[in-house]
Structure formats: C-alpha cells, structure tokens
C-alpha cells in the first residue's frame, strides 16, 4: 500500500481537491440544492480514482525514461518496487472504478466520464510531441471544479468553468518551473517541454504570464461569486489575495540560476495556496 500511495503521489491530491470542493460547495449553495452525503462521497471517490489512474499511467508509460534519469530512477517501477504489469492493472481498475462511480452520480457525469479519463491519461503522451504538455496537465486538473459542480447540478455554469481555467493556468505555470530541473536530460532524449523549447529564461517568462492570467481569472471569479452568491463576503477576497500572493512568492524563491528551492515552490507553496483559498471560500459560503 505504501508503494502504491507513493506511486500516485497521493499527497499531491492537495492541489486539485480544494478546487473540486469549491465546485461542490458553489453548487449546493444554489437555490434548490443542499448537502448530500452520498454525492459528496462520490465526488471524493471520483477525484481519487481519476488521479490514481492519471499518475499510475504516467509512471507506467514513462518507466523506461524514469529509469534513465537519476532524479526519477528511484520511482517504484524502475526501482523494482512494483512491476509494470501490476501498475497497468492498477490503472485499469481505477479507470473502471471512476466510470462506475460516475454512473451513481448522474447521467451527464457518466456520459462525460470517458472523455474526462481520456484527457487525464492523454497528458502522459504529450511530452513526446509538444512543449505545451504543461497545459494539458493543467487541463486535466481543471476538470475538478467543473466536474464537482456537474455532480450536484447536472449543468455547466461559468463560475466553475472560470475556476477550472484558474487551475489550468496555475498548474501549467508551476509545472513549467518544475520541468526546468530536467532540461538537459529531456534534450538528451528528445523529449518536449517548455524549458526545452524556449530555454530556462523563456520558460520562466511564460510561467510568469500564465500566473498573471491565473491571478486575473481569480479576481474575475471572486467578483462573479460575490455577485451571484449573496452569502459570500470578505473571506473569498482574503483567500483570493493569499492565493495570488503565494503565486508571486514562488517566483521570488526560484530563478533561472537557482533551482534549489523548486520543491518549496512546487509542493509547499502551491499546496498551501490551494488549501487556504478553498477553505476560506467554502467557509464564506456556509458561514
């Protein structure tokens, strides 16, 4: 169990899960909807199954690449802790579990579930042919607030879609920073990434741009929530401000010439930003 949890980096669920909860609580605060334990649990299960599928498939597909990279050679498959066949079986089980779970939510989630799974699995192929692989990763995680909202209402709405776009540009921006660690290795194998395509300086500039767009979308979403949800107040603005401040902070601790604090920027800062923002918005809605 420890090896499988490490395989899928279960602790990284902290990035998208708060935004899924944002989508869920935005939905149940609409007239005619309320908190349902069944739906809430099913949404959580979908998040777990989808993420397990995506991460395990990425490890399965990249097993040979990971084995050649000193930074990733300790991962479960190249290190011999888990067999490739067992990991593939794990992926298939989680894909089936995700689709079956959506069946018990509502028809639109069930019908769209193969598309959602296809998007999150497709990311693993993208580094082989496009430097925009980071955007595809962001797109996969952006489905969290949209899907959770759909689980409750069965309908699309602009506010969860805007938060989905927030997630997409946020994740793409910090994944570009993370990818800067492997520029030389990726170049040696002909793999694609933004740092490979644009160089470290160009990649950092694009990461800035993505996070500026993310910040603008956060402000637009906050305005939309306060206009459409009468219960929303000051906490959403505090949460939005903290989130944007932490975006700025991560760019102050990482530079083209100093990547020593990439893990602090990638894991700690972004994890705190997501949890704090999600918690404050939810508190604002239910207070």
Q: Which two tokens stand for residue 10?
A: 């279960």
pLDDT over 80 at 266, yes or no: no
Instruction: For residue 52, give Cα distances in angstroms to 28, 89, 101, 121, 276.
Output: 26, 12, 14, 10, 24
Residues 107-149 pLDDT 10s: 999 999 999 999 999 999 999 999 999 999 999 999 999 999 9
Candidate CATH numbers 1.20.120.1780, 1.10.510.10, 3.40.50.300, 1.10.3080.10; the one for domain 157-287? 1.20.120.1780
Q: How far apart are CA 17 and CA 22, in angstroms?
A: 9
**Residue 258, SS3?**
strand
Least confident of 13-22, 32-41, 135-144: 13-22
Q: Where are the domains of the chain?
A: 1-121, 157-287
pLDDT over 80 at 54, yes or no: yes
Confidence of residue 11 (pLDDT cuts 50, 70, 90): low
Q: Which pTM was predicted?
A: 0.94
Least confident of 36-45, 74-83, 138-147, 217-226: 74-83
pLDDT score recorded for residue 106: 97
Angle of helix 270-286 versus helix 17-28 axis, rounded to 10: 10
User: Same topology for domains 1-121 and 157-287, yes or no?
Assistant: no
What distance lies between CA 206 and its chain's CA centroid?
18
Residue 33's region, left for phi above 0, alpha for psi from -120 to 50, else beta, is beta
Least confident of 24-33, 95-104, 195-204, 222-231: 222-231
pLDDT over 70 at 10, yes or no: no
Listed in sequence order, the residues at least 6 apart from 185 whose beta carbon sits closer than 8 Å to its beta carbon are 68, 69, 71, 191
Sign of the Cα pseudo-torsion (256, 260, 263, 265, in order): negative
Q: How far apart are CA 51 and CA 63, in angstroms?
A: 18
Element (H, E) at 133: helix 133-153
Residues 174-227 pLDDT 10s: 999 999 989 999 999 999 999 999 999 999 999 999 999 999 999 999 999 999
CATH architecture of 1-121: Orthogonal Bundle (1.10)
Q: What is the dihedral angle through the alpha carbons of 74, 79, 82, 83, rounded to the nearest 10 degrees?
A: 130
Q: How far apart are CA 23 and CA 238, in angstroms?
A: 18
Q: How far apart are CA 21 and CA 146, in angstroms?
A: 10
Segment 92-98 mean pLDDT? 97
């Amino acid at each position: 169990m420890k090896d499988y949890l490490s395989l899928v980096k279960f602790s990284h669920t902290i990035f998208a899960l708060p935004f899924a909860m944002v989508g869920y609580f935005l939905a149940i605060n609409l007239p005619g909807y309320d908190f349902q334990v069944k739906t809430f649990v099913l949404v959580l299960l979908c998040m777990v199954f989808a993420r397990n599928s995506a991460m395990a498939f990425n490890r399965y597909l990249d097993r040979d690449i990971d084995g050649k990279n000193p930074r990733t050679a300790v991962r479960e498959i190249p290190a011999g802790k888990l067999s490739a066949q067992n990991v593939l079986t794990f992926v298939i089980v989680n894909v089936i579990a995700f689709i079956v779970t959506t069946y018990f939510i509502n028809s639109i989630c069930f019908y769209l579930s193969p598309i959602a799974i296809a998007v999150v699995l497709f990311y693993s192929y993208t580094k082989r042919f496009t430097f925009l692989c980071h955007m595809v990763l962001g797109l996969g995680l952006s489905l969290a607030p949209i899907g959770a909202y759909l689980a409750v209402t069965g309908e699309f709405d602009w506010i969860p879609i805007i938060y989905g776009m927030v997630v997409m540009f946020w994740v793409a921006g910090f994944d570009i920073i993370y990818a800067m660690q492997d520029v030389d290795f990726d170049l040696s194998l002909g793999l694609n990434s933004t740092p490979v395509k644009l160089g470290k300086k160009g990649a950092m500039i694009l990461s800035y741009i993505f996070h500026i767009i993310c910040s603008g979308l956060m402000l637009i979403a906050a305005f939309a929530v306060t206009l459409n949800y009468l219960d929303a107040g000051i906490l959403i603005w505090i949460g939005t401000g903290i989130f944007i401040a932490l975006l700025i902070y991560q760019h102050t601790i990482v530079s083209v010439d100093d990547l020593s604090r990439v893990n602090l920027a990638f894991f700690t800062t972004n994890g705190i930003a997501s949890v704090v923002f999600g918690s404050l918005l939810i508190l604002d809605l239910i207070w």
